[in-house]
Amino acid sequence: MSRDFLRPQWHLTAPAGRLNDPNGLFLSGDKLHVFYQHDPVFPTRPKRTGWGHATIDLGGDLIPRHLPDALYPHLPYDLDGCYSGCAVPQNEGVRLFYTGNVKVNGERYTSQNQVHLSDPDGPHGGIFRPDPANPLIDGPAPGFTAHFRDPHVTCDEQGWRMVIGAQNDALEGQVVLYRSQDLDSWEFQGPLNFDRPAPRGYMYECPNLLTMTDTQTGEQRDVLVICPQSDVDTCVYAVGLLDGTSFHIETDFAPLDFGHEFYAPHLVSRDGRALMMAWMGLPGRDETPTEGWVHCLTAVRELVLENGRIKQEILLPEQALQTRVDLADEERVLTVFDSHGNPGPRVHYEPEKGTLTLSREGDIRSMACGSGELHLTVDGCALELTAEDGLVAAASMAYGDWTEITEERL
């Protein structure tokens, strides 16, 4: 039996093979370019990750449209993978930064590299030219292991800044900072230091550091997103101010998403706000009922900073299967049904407890939640919700032929 009903329409999936982290989001007018980690021959051949490429028209139908893959591991410094990175639009084109991965006799070597992209809006998605000076950063900084990857580049009043996810020699997760005036030469500044407790993990993956404008105060604040790896893979954010390598935290680290599958988000600035996509998957979880492809990305979300907290809005067209409910003082249950009338995922709001739970086949995610709008959407196997007017978000994979969402007041 065909399982085509599992493939989402508005959530980006790979045409074939394995998809994971989103990379290098950038805007060209209303067109959002999205790169992503792609193993096109998964699972029949050994893993050699490159970058897939797609675009999403934010002013149009929001359906991802695929372009030829952008990067494929073939150079001496990336033979075993072109790992996660970012994009920096310039007048002369776009610069892509990524981690090259090489394994020799079981030992890992990583480097940070750049590719010059021209004509990205052309019919083939652009021309990609590796920088002849690669690697830009050859190996980890002193005091760090080869788990040193995922560059994210933004700018501030001091110039360009790059954060990299790292593991120090004590096997602790950290974020390290580099700075540059020209995007070509990078100087190591050191690991970020936090003045409030940070999550524990043996590695911090996929850091994002960007400046957002608080819609309530009008002030600019630095937002840091990290994925601490431990017994449980999570994603958290903190809001504050970066001063040198000191990150002065004003809003403690908090989950960015409470769902079953949400990891490695990638953020890009847009007029003081941000656009975000994330991997709806987790490391080591590739067993799914999909055929010929595995995993997807979240829908595009718009993020705003309000009173030091992130609010999220899922960008989907009206025709998507979705419902919006105004939560107040009444207990609510929303249930997703398949085409045969069988119940599937369940969302339960309990105002007395101040909680919202998302249940999928008995696996429950619980989150603190107050009143405000709840937005629940299902697109193929991708389920996403926001609640409390966007202060709470959750993404989960739910494999079924979903056709209806019902609401029950208790």
pLDDT tens for residues 76-95?
999 999 999 999 999 989 99
Per-residue pLDDT tens for 372-383? 999 999 999 999
Which helix (H) or strand (E) segment holds residue 125: the answer is none
pTM of this structure: 0.97
Per-residue pLDDT tens for 298-330? 999 999 999 999 999 999 999 999 999 999 999
Please report, as a single letter, which amino acid is at residue 34: V
Q: 172 with 229: CB under 8 angstroms?
A: no
State residue 4's pLDDT score: 87
Catalytic residue, candidates 21, 78, 222, 389: 21
State residue 1's pLDDT score: 45
Residue found under tokens 């999220």? 312
DSSP labels for 181-193? SSSSS-EEEEE-E
CA torsion sign for 141, 144, 149, 154 is negative
- Say which residues have a Cβ less than 8 Å from residue 207's Cβ, sequence separation at least 6: 150, 152, 163, 164, 165, 175, 224, 225, 226, 227
Q: Where are the domains of the chain?
A: 4-314, 321-409
Question: Helix count (H) and strand count (E) of the chain?
Answer: 0, 33
State residue 349's pLDDT score: 98
Q: Are strands 93-104 and 107-118 parallel, antiparallel or unpaired?
A: antiparallel
State in words which class domain 321-409 has. mainly beta
* d(C-alpha 20, C-alpha 295), whole Å: 7
State residue 265's pLDDT score: 98
CA torsion sign for 140, 201, 22, 95 is negative
State residue 3's pLDDT score: 72
Domain 4-314: which topology? Answer: Tachylectin-2; Chain A (2.115.10)
42: DSSP letter = T
Which helix (H) or strand (E) segment holds residue 379: the answer is strand 372-379
State residue 119's pLDDT score: 96
21 is known as an active-site residue: yes
State residue 121's pLDDT score: 96
* d(C-alpha 326, C-alpha 340), whole Å: 28
The residue among 165, 197, 144 whose CA lies nearest residue 83 is 165
State residue 2's pLDDT score: 59
The residue among 52, 62, 51 whose CA lies nearest residue 11 is 62
Burial per residue of 96-124, b for 16 or more beta-carbon CB atoms within 10 angstroms, e otherwise:
bbbbbbbeeeeeebbbbbbbbbeebeeee
* d(C-alpha 19, C-alpha 99), whole Å: 17
Per-residue pLDDT tens for 215-227? 999 999 999 999 9
How many alpha carbons lie under 13 Å from residue 182 in its C-beta half-sphere?
3
Under-70 pLDDT residues of the chain:
1-2
State residue 47's pLDDT score: 83
How many alpha carbons lie under 13 Å from residue 84 in its C-beta half-sphere?
27
